[in-house]
Amino acid sequence: MTAVDLRVAQRPNAPVTTYRYDEYDAAFVRERVAEFREQVLRRLSGALTEEEFRPFRLMNGLYLQLHAYMLRVAIPYGTLTARQMRRLADIADRWDKGYGHFTTRQNLQYNWPKLVDTPDILEALADVEMHAIQTSGNCIRNVTADHFAGVAPDEIEDPRPTAEFLRQWSSLHPEFSFLPRKFKIAVTGAEHDRAAIMVHDVGLRILRNERGEIGYQVVVGGGLGRSPFVGKVVGDFVPREDLLAFLEAIMRVYNRFGRRDNKYKARIKILIHEKGIDEIRAAVEAEFAAMDRSVFSHDPAEFERIASFFAPPPYETLPETSSALRTAKLETPAFANFVDVNVSAHKIPGYAIVTVSLKPIGGIPGDATSEQMRVLADASERFGFGEMRVSHEQNIILPHVKQDDLFALWRLLEPAGLATANAGLVSDIISCPGLDYCSLATARSIPIAQAISKRFADMSRQRRIGKLGIKISGCINACGHHHVGAIGILGLEKKGQESYQITLGGDPTFSASIGEILGPGVTADQVPDVIEHLVDFYLAEREEGEAFIDTWRRIGHVRFKDVLRREGEDGADI
């Protein structure tokens, strides 16, 4: 059965740059759709109670939220083809309300699907090798990766083959289908961490040793939520051939010792915190030594087979820089700003990585309309080998654009509202859906992001401020990563009103740190004023080229607290 009218471009000659399902994958996903279709029918007929049905729907990514059901679609390691993006757009139009929300775990959420339609939606996803499995529940969730994977100049190795290897290992793994809590893995192969591996349950950093061999630094026990922790190194250099067995050992230790009596203490970070990393490392090493590792033995041929799916596209041989780009920048200042802010260096001469911001000034972070999705699909096909990435910052990446094509790409993106030149700047705000959609939220987060974005609407001011990560969560579960925002904002309920707690000094990279609370909560109306005071103080205090986090670390938290206190005394009412 084909669930939707196909409007996808069949491109048999397209280069393979992403993993393609084999017969086993395709059959498995189809079987799961059929199984869920049956479960939905049984629920609607009353054969299953809600209590019985809830685990089944969660295993298929379907939540019940504030206004409607919500379907979370997995985008493994954030990689999407044009064909898949068009299908996401078609689903948004046919079964949702014409848009989708890209999340901080590189997934996509539909906010309005009906339960009765969900099997058809899953069928439509299966047509393009997508699903919603393991996007919820106490299992190993969608594995995330550096969104510049395969194209970053600072990369040791493309993390996507490893991420795909782990996806296959963890999908429906019988030992890990009922973990104490959810479990999130992120992988990077670069010298700079763009995947926030230090705040995942397991973070993997690909390294090369002195002998030129590839291995993994394994970090465990990071996480955000109500008890944030930076992960700790449990393995300094795990050879590739031992990776699955080592991770299996970690999971077994967690499965055995992780708490199940209290959901708030059930994440592996709490186990690490309570037992200490040395005791956990000893337990993992003991399990690793005792286990039958033959079943996890590395199969180089299989790894190479998977890696071959991520082969570089057929790049042209080009000069390092583009004269056409230089000319266009001189002639069109708005384009020049876009290039300066949203375009990153590529490992191949003459090419560039483009970040398409889903954060228009005053817009909803991470939302894209179906029409915008189609523009992105078109853009990727015309200018980027038909491939896109979703970043955990809730933007879309076009990873293979010729510098010569950047101006034409910008002209395609601009009328679609996709050319906001703010990647990494103060208005490129990470925000969870908050109380506008989420049933767990204690306060709204999107309107706060919108208000800050509007306050800093002047793009030249944003560029003067430079890179600055603001992250907003609408509850303590921290889907908006507020703990690791240079400026973090947490929405809470205080005496029946929305209240916002601000933190400073968070860092999601290899130098990870958890932000420190600035002071008592403020009202929604006060948040933009507070942020502006903090930014102004930073601008006054920073040294040449110094990022906000570095100024904060140099002069200390107290100085920032003091400036707000003084402003309050002066009548600024903050």
Partner 1 sequence: MAVFKHPQILIASNLADGEVVFLGQSGWERDHCRARVAQNAEEAAALEAAGKRDVSANRVVDVYLADVEIGRDGAPTPLHYRERMRVKGPSVRLDLGKQQLPGSAA
- Residue ranges in contact with partner 1 by CB under 8 A: 43-46, 50, 64-69, 97, 112-116, 364, 435-437, 444, 446-447, 450, 496-498
Nearer to partner 1, 129 or 498 (CB): 498
CB of 326 to partner 1, least distance (A): 40
Q: Which is nearer to partner 1, 333 or 496 (CB)?
A: 496
Q: How far is the CB of 443 from partner 1 (least distance, A)?
A: 8
Q: How far is the CB of 491 from partner 1 (least distance, A)?
A: 11
Distance between CA 562 and CA 476 in Å, rounded? 26
Residue matched to tokens 């919108």: 450
Minimum gap (Å) between residue 98 Cβ and partner 1:
10
**Spatial distance between the Cα atoms of 260 and 304, rounded to a whole number of angstroms:** 38
Strand, coil or helix: what is 495?
A: coil
In terms of CB distance, is 51 or 544 closer to partner 1?
51
For every residue of 393-415, which 3-state class applies, written as one string? Answer: CCCEEEEEEEHHHHHHHHHHHHH
- Reading the block at residue 435, the tokens are 């109380």
- Rounded distance, CA 268 to CA 274, Å? 10
Number of H helices, E strands in the chain: 18, 20
* Shortest distance, position 328 Cβ to partner 1, whole Å: 35
In the complex, the smallest distance separating the C-beta of residue 10 from partner 1, rounded to whole angstroms, is 33
Which CB atom, from 220 or from 429, has the smaller least distance to partner 1? 429
Q: Which is nearer to partner 1, 221 or 365 (CB)?
A: 365
Question: CA 213: distance to chain centroid?
Answer: 29
When the beta carbons of 2 and 45 are compared against partner 1, the nearer one is 45
What is the DSSP-derived secondary structure letter of residue 192?
S
Cα–Cα distance for residue pair 326/340, rounded to 1 Å:
11
- Of 67 and 559, which CB lies nearer to partner 1 in the complex structure? 67
Distance CA 435, CA 475 (A): 9
Of 323 and 497, CB closest to partner 1 = 497
Please tell me the distance from the alpha carbon of residue 361 to that of residue 374, in angstroms, as a whole number.
Answer: 21
Q: How far is the CB of 376 from partner 1 (least distance, A)?
A: 21
Distance CA 216, CA 280 (A): 18
Is residue 443 classed as helix, strand or coil in its secondary structure?
Answer: coil
Q: Are strands 108-110 and 185-188 parallel, antiparallel or unpaired?
A: unpaired
CB of 453 to partner 1, least distance (A): 12
Pick 47 or 572: Cβ nearer partner 1: 47
Per-residue CA distances from 336 to 14, 330, 344, 406, 410 (Å):
31, 7, 13, 10, 10
Query: How far separated are the first and last CA of the chain, in Å rounded?
Result: 59
545-565 burial: b if 16+ Cβ within 10 Å, else e: eebbbebbeeeebeebeebbe
Give the number of residues written for the chain. Answer: 574
Q: Shortest Cβ distance from residue 64 to partner 1 (Å)?
A: 6
The least CB distance from residue 447 to partner 1, in Å, is 6
Q: Which is nearer to partner 1, 447 or 480 (CB)?
A: 447
